[in-house]
Structure 1
Amino acid sequence: MAKDALVQELVDGFDDWPAQPRPEEPASAGSCGGAARMTSELYPYDALFSPIRVNRLTLKNRIVMAPMGNIDMCEETGRPNQKMLDYFFARAKGGCGLITTGLVPVSHGIDATVTEPGGLTYFPRIDRSRTVMAGWRDLAQGVHAFGSRIFVQLTAGLGRVGNPQCLLTLKRFPASASVLPNYYMPSVPCMRLSDRRLGRIVRALGQAAADASAMGLDGVYLHGHEGYLLEQMANPAFNHRRLGRYADWRRFGLDAVREIRRRVGPDLPIMYRIDLSLALEETYGEEVLDGTYLGRMRGGRSVEQTLGYMEELVAAGVDLFDVDLGCYDNWWMPHPPASMPAGCFVPVAEAVKRRFARDGVKSNAGLPVPVVAVGKLGYPDVAERALREGACDMVMLGRPLLADPEWPNKAYAGRVDQIRPCIGCQEGCVNEFVEGGHPQCAVNPRCSFEHAMPEVPPSAASSRRVAVVGAGPAGMACALVAVRRGHEVTLMDAADELGGKLLCAGAARMKFDVENYRSYLAGQVRAAEREGGLAVELGHRAGAGELAAGGFDAIVCATGAADAVPPIPGVDGLLASGRARQASELMRDPAALAGAQSVVVVGGGVVGCECAQWLSVERGVERVCVVEALPHMMEGACTANRGHLLHVLARRGVRLLNMARVEEVRLEDAATPGGAVALRVSRNHDGHVPDPYVSWTPVLPKNVVNPLEPRIGDDWREEGLRCDLLVLACGGRADDGLFFELQKAHAAPELRNLGDAFAPGRVLEAVRAAYRLGCAL
């Protein structure tokens, strides 16, 4: 099996880094390849905020906004709407030097996955007709008003990673470079595109580039990575053609660049997004490759072939590259989740820089070709260090700029502690549009709502006394907005620390992003307390009578969720004896493991699987097993985050039992200290029960039916498990008792129930609701 040493080292490091010896954290200038903090040790950031020339265009700084797909941020005709415009204007105002749009297909009518019935689309379009042009012109002019530049990202199409529902809605198969399985539904084949149709796409790319230039956009950005159609044509893993012009896997990309250059002339910058390697053979072992469709994608482009291809692309007209690893079939790589280290792809950019320097690569404008580093670089010290050390020429920020559009301005001014950190959950920026929405952000409620929500919440008509009970993310966010509007707010919590569930959610080393966010919120609360208007009362559980007597005009209950205890016979006794623990408690108190070398986790949701990863990787527990009643582990979680966790658990030998129910638990010999915990488990052994370790194909949203999916039968059998410690990760129930007590007592003129106290969910729902409520009090 062909493997590249650099790629293999990186891939293994992405999985194992939390187990490696820790440098002093926060390390000097942040950390590359591990956890990172929002430090400012390298301020002033003179490398980040130095100009750079690309072709004839000078960019004011080295910060590039990544293409955060603008799905459903346009009218159904594809014309950019006000939502999309104000979303980009906010990032331009925030100081970003170069903005790139999300992908814009030019293959409507050829690639059926990009077009909806009736000729509508959820993608922005630049190819439809003059009716869409004004939106792009308005976008360019608005971005330029803030001194930023903007490139349009063009894609040849989606191909095998497109929505296979076109087979049902349009009666057309997805298309690709060759006959390949669809990513979402591998049982659906993608048909081979003819050379004639591919030629039409090449011409469409040239026309779209010419239109973009005419509309005042500053450059063109080709989407050539991650296994989209351009990458499918430009990689022998996907391009299995034997005859015709495009049997040469380099030809399609080179034709596209030459056609764009022919249409726009020599001066318009062309940027190309590429993966140094798909890393499929470095990710998956022989057993997986031999036993799945992935085996048909062996022999992908090697690192050496990619570097040679990039030099050919430069000769054809490319001025700028950004480079990463991976594709949809190991989706966590091009979309690094919370579980991956900071600065994960800096070595990839550095490898390209070294090659270009060795070969003296220059663009057609006679300039060195800048290389943009990507991958969890939202920590100013980490980004600055990568530039100072010459590993890259620019840094690309996607999710950090969604979390805080003012990231560049704050970094430039040295206000790093005021940057709102991304938590790496990808629930708003990626999973939201997979589920049918548009990109948003879990920690920034205004993201994609800039057109509707003011940057500064309006002052309240009159100041009111407000109590917020619960200092988790919802409570802190709501209190901060209410204070900024002029209310007198008291924030209360029974715990001695600010953070609520974030305290346990950020306890694992791999969840450093969450701990950064908790620290940020706590810092904002303490700053508001110092400035006046916000009083913080910790370590005291406020009761309904006390609150009713407090004379508050409004009381917000943000009391969170209580950990659920499943109705399993024997579990209460184990909890009382300490032989069973809630995952949220255990991760904050690892001493409770007490040398346990065998742990069973009941509940295979996100918390359960993250706990299993923490136990296996960070705590060194030898035998870990996860028991989940549903067909899939982590149903509903973002595919990238879910996939990486499953991949790590498989590599660590964690046993995953899906469609399994714990029927009873007991101590085998209650009179013997240290006796094993025994579990009686019912498990479905039907042949159609999904393989719980599959990380290369996603779980479809529940409203999307795969008509070819086999029905799961019933073949339930009992088996026994033994462990030293039982861990419960069975979700939570709304801790809403206080709210209903207050309601019954008429404790205040206005009562609100917020966050997990209303309905247990994610940070995304809690913070978004908190902002809206804070603006309405």
Structure 2
Amino acid sequence: MVYKYKKLFEPVKIGNVEIRNRFAMAPMGPQGLGDAEGGFNQRGVDYYVKRASGGTGLIITGVTFVENEVEKHEMPGVPCSTYNSIHFIRTASEMTERIHAYDSKVFLQMSAGFGRVAPPLNENVPPIAPSPIPNRWVDVTCREITKDEIHHIVKMFGEGAVNAKRAGFDGIQIHAVHEGYLLDQFAISFFNHRTDEYGGCIENRLRFAREVVEEIKKCCGNDFPVILRYSPKSFIKNWREGGLPGEEFEEKGRDVDEGIQGAKLLVQYGYDALDVDVGCYDAWWWNHPPMYQKKGLYIPYAKMMKQAVDVPIICAGRMDNPDLALSALDEGACDMIGLGRPLLADPDYVNKLHLGKTALIRPCLSCHEGCLGRMVKNGSLNCAVNPEACREGINFLTPALKPKKVLIVGGGVAGCEAARVLKLRGHEPVIYEETGRLGGNLIPGGVPDFKEDDRALIAWYENTLKDLGVEIKLNTKVTPEVVRNSSVDVVIIATGSKPKIFNLGDNSKVFAAADVLCGRKQIGDKVVVLGGGLVGCETALYLKKIGKKVTIVEAMDSLLALNGPSCFANMGMLLALIPYNHIDVLTSSKAVKTTDKGVLVNTEGSGKREIEADSIVFAIGYNSNKELYNSLKYEIPDIRLLGDARKVSNIMYAIWDAYEVASNL
């Protein structure tokens, strides 16, 4: 029998470096993985090594800076190969040696800087940029970088690359003529208004990027590969305003024709491969695609690059479906598959695929809660579904000293994660689930077509628990008496939460979002969704997509003001999709009562109005369901409360809390 995914495991060359398979770990911000001297801390070393041991052929590190004078960076932020070169080489050498033990290669991603997309460190130090243009995040005009500063940065690229080569890196990735970072700002005429040799025609705007690769080749030799992160299209409608999939608009950034022209020049200048995506900080949901973007969204652009230049093309962007990845190679769209967040979720992705264990690959949700969201809010890279990500030397499971029998009430995410961890450690967990399937609130949450990975996570828990031999009792309601009569050592209550609903008078056409999403309640063609948080907005978008006329009524003065995504890419795209899909919105508004025609709504400042509706859908949050826990907490010696039953939150904290408790029982 011919192995279906054989092509994904064939070797490929970038320059003279042979990579054992077609998988590259896409670069992701390494916040929390560097130390105060610009080296890799132990977390960073363990993190990258784990992805190599999981079978990934090429590891590309997250961004590292080449200097800390022209653009100041707080330390420790991310590694810097020139800040303390001896220390960098020492810490990086440990990492590259261990990565090479698994026959993987590793490239260091080096950055010229963030430019206008960096939040100002303080109001007296404006960010740099090619020209005096607006900062992405705040109302500040950037300072134009000087030619001497450009020359300094170029020189530091050479020095940093020498240090990387000494530390055992197999090549360099340049960050980046993509996403609107500093090199990209020079390349895009919308940002670059210079009249010197670094502005004007496309050759001048790419001069900075050209000088970088030429300096590295001069310092490290032509046989030391240098690849480029490259976006052939920006999707910029205007300052801080991005285009949506399928939307017609005038491109203010780099469009495809110039993207092809630029790619040809960059390869001519000496870049050995292009790592392709699209987007910009002004359209961040392209570079960091949420679940609202389709799988494989960069494939058409990668194929354009493949047809334009004769160097290897890497394509990432929700490429975790192996059939999609294989088809991209077969149709000549790319030479390598970039996996970013999927390798956060499951560092053993490649090995599991090679062994045919695809059902046991833990899926990425494209939620950005643990990765980009936490990087922005907490300064650390993590993963919502994998509590061990970036904590490999801290969060790891050890065998139980004394195996225990554990009764778990509730088969939602928290209950499933607790059972998984307990079983791996040698305990004997049993899940009791009142309904006919596992998943809890993931079941209604996974109904919309754009939430396919929520459904995949349920399937992963089902398959994983079956593979581990965890006993599961479905359609089994647990009463206090059942618990009292059980002969177990520990009881875990993970009974989840219940939707909030309040009385609107005639409640015959009032439904909880979960009941509507699961098809337990049928609704009419005109729907009012009460609540403009994450559940409300996603429910509204789903209902609109199936043909309903939808109005969102939100008590706050804006959508997603409470319980929105923590990552701006997700939040920004969802907020843009609401008006794009012609969903009506009333903010600072509250439903008063149902009427014969619909619902009466009181809007702050404009009074009451009647909205015509066949159905009113509640999406105003959840209340913890801890009745069983409260009835037993003084009777059971060792009883734990997990997930929404403890505190209503999101998938990430349900998983993380369950992992924490179960790993220490």
| 1:146 to 1:630, Cα distance in 2 relative to 1, 3 A | farther
| 1:251 to 1:677, Cα distance in 2 relative to 1, 3 A | same
Give the aligned partner of residue 620 of structure 2.
730
Corresponding letter in the other structure for 1:549: N
> Matched residues in 1 for 2:243 and 2:97: separation?
54
On the 8 A contact 1:609/1:626 being kept in 2, the answer is no
> Matched residues in 2 for 1:396 and 1:42: separation?
24
SS of the residue corresponding to residue 599 of structure 1 reads strand
Give the aligned partner of residue 439 of structure 1.
381
Give the aligned partner of residue 563 of structure 1.
499
1:616 to 544, 549, 571: 544
| Pairing of 1:199-598 with structure 2 (within 5 A) | 199-224=151-176, 225-247=178-200, 248-281=204-237, 299-356=252-309, 361=310, 369-454=311-396, 457-529=397-469, 534-566=470-502, 570-571=503-504, 573-575=505-507, 577=508, 579-589=509-519, 592-593=522-523, 596-598=524-526
On the 8 A contact 2:9/2:20 being kept in 1, the answer is yes
1:535, distance to aligned residue in structure 2 (A): 2.2
Give the aligned partner of residue 764 of structure 1.
652
On the 8 A contact 2:213/2:270 being kept in 1, the answer is yes
TM-score (norm 2): 0.94
1:284, distance to aligned residue in structure 2 (A): 10
Give the aligned partner of residue 532 of structure 2.
604
Corresponding letter in the other structure for 2:465: V
Could you tell which deviates more after superposition, 442-451 or 715-724? Answer: 715-724
Corresponding letter in the other structure for 1:44: K
On the 8 A contact 1:616/1:624 being kept in 2, the answer is no
> Matched residues in 1 for 2:498 and 2:271: separation?
55
TM-score (norm 1): 0.81
Question: Is the aligned partner of 1:640 residue 2:569?
Answer: yes
Corresponding letter in the other structure for 2:77: Y
On the 8 A contact 1:337/1:425 being kept in 2, the answer is yes
Corresponding letter in the other structure for 1:123: V
Post-superposition CA distance 1:462-483 (Å, at most 9, x none): 2211100110111001011112
SS of the residue corresponding to residue 119 of structure 2 reads coil
1:106, distance to aligned residue in structure 2 (A): 2.0
Identity of aligned residues (%): 32
Post-superposition CA distance 1:10-69 (Å, at most 9, x none): xxxxxxxxxxxxxxxxxxxxxxxxxxxxxxx99531111000111111000010001111
SS of the residue corresponding to residue 261 of structure 1 reads helix
What stretches of structure 1 of length at least 5 have no aligned partner? Answer: 1-40, 289-294, 362-368, 669-675, 684-714
1:720, distance to aligned residue in structure 2 (A): 3.9
Taking only aligned residues, the RMSD between alpha carbons, in angstroms, comes to 2.2
1:138 to 94, 109, 115: 94
Give the aligned partner of residue 160 of structure 1.
116
On the 8 A contact 1:600/1:627 being kept in 2, the answer is no
1:597, distance to aligned residue in structure 2 (A): 2.5
> Matched residues in 2 for 1:283 and 1:557: separation?
49
> Matched residues in 2 for 1:606 and 1:513: separation?
16
1:99 to 39, 56, 59: 59
SS of the residue corresponding to residue 285 of structure 2 reads coil
Corresponding letter in the other structure for 1:560: G
SS of the residue corresponding to residue 275 of structure 2 reads strand
RCO higher in structure (CA 8 A, sep ≥6)? 1
Could you tell which deviates more after superposition, 475-484 or 638-647? Answer: 638-647
On the 8 A contact 1:50/1:62 being kept in 2, the answer is yes
On the 8 A contact 1:57/1:269 being kept in 2, the answer is yes
> Matched residues in 2 for 1:121 and 1:178: separation?
29
1:64 to 24, 36, 53: 24
Give the aligned partner of residue 193 of structure 1.
145
> Matched residues in 1 for 2:626 and 2:239: separation?
45
> Matched residues in 1 for 2:476 and 2:255: separation?
60
> Matched residues in 1 for 2:349 and 2:293: separation?
21
| Pairing of 1:101-140 with structure 2 (within 5 A) | 101-112=61-72, 115-116=73-74, 120-129=75-84, 130-140=86-96
1:484, distance to aligned residue in structure 2 (A): 2.1
| 1:665 to 1:333, Cα distance in 2 relative to 1, 3 A | same
| 1:302 to 1:54, Cα distance in 2 relative to 1, 3 A | same
Aligned length: 654
| 1:625 to 1:43, Cα distance in 2 relative to 1, 3 A | farther
| 1:42 to 1:123, Cα distance in 2 relative to 1, 3 A | farther
1:415, distance to aligned residue in structure 2 (A): 0.9
On the 8 A contact 1:195/1:244 being kept in 2, the answer is no
Post-superposition CA distance 1:571-628 (Å, at most 9, x none): 2x444x1x111112211117612xx2321211111111111110112x1113433424
On the 8 A contact 1:608/1:626 being kept in 2, the answer is no
Question: Is the aligned partner of 1:86 residue 2:15?
Answer: no
| 1:268 to 1:99, Cα distance in 2 relative to 1, 3 A | same
SS of the residue corresponding to residue 327 of structure 2 reads helix
SS of the residue corresponding to residue 392 of structure 1 reads coil
> Matched residues in 2 for 1:590 and 1:189: separation?
54
Question: Is the aligned partner of 1:680 residue 2:601?
Answer: yes
On the 8 A contact 1:51/1:61 being kept in 2, the answer is yes
> Matched residues in 2 for 1:74 and 1:237: separation?
34
1:485, distance to aligned residue in structure 2 (A): 1.9
> Matched residues in 2 for 1:772 and 1:379: separation?
29
> Matched residues in 2 for 1:217 and 1:424: separation?
30
1:283, distance to aligned residue in structure 2 (A): 12
Corresponding letter in the other structure for 1:622: K
> Matched residues in 2 for 1:436 and 1:70: separation?
12
On the 8 A contact 1:502/1:514 being kept in 2, the answer is yes
> Matched residues in 2 for 1:384 and 1:283: separation?
37
> Matched residues in 2 for 1:590 and 1:510: separation?
20
1:655 to 574, 579, 584: 584
On the 8 A contact 2:241/2:283 being kept in 1, the answer is no
On the 8 A contact 2:242/2:283 being kept in 1, the answer is no
1:629 to 549, 556, 572: 556
Corresponding letter in the other structure for 1:197: E
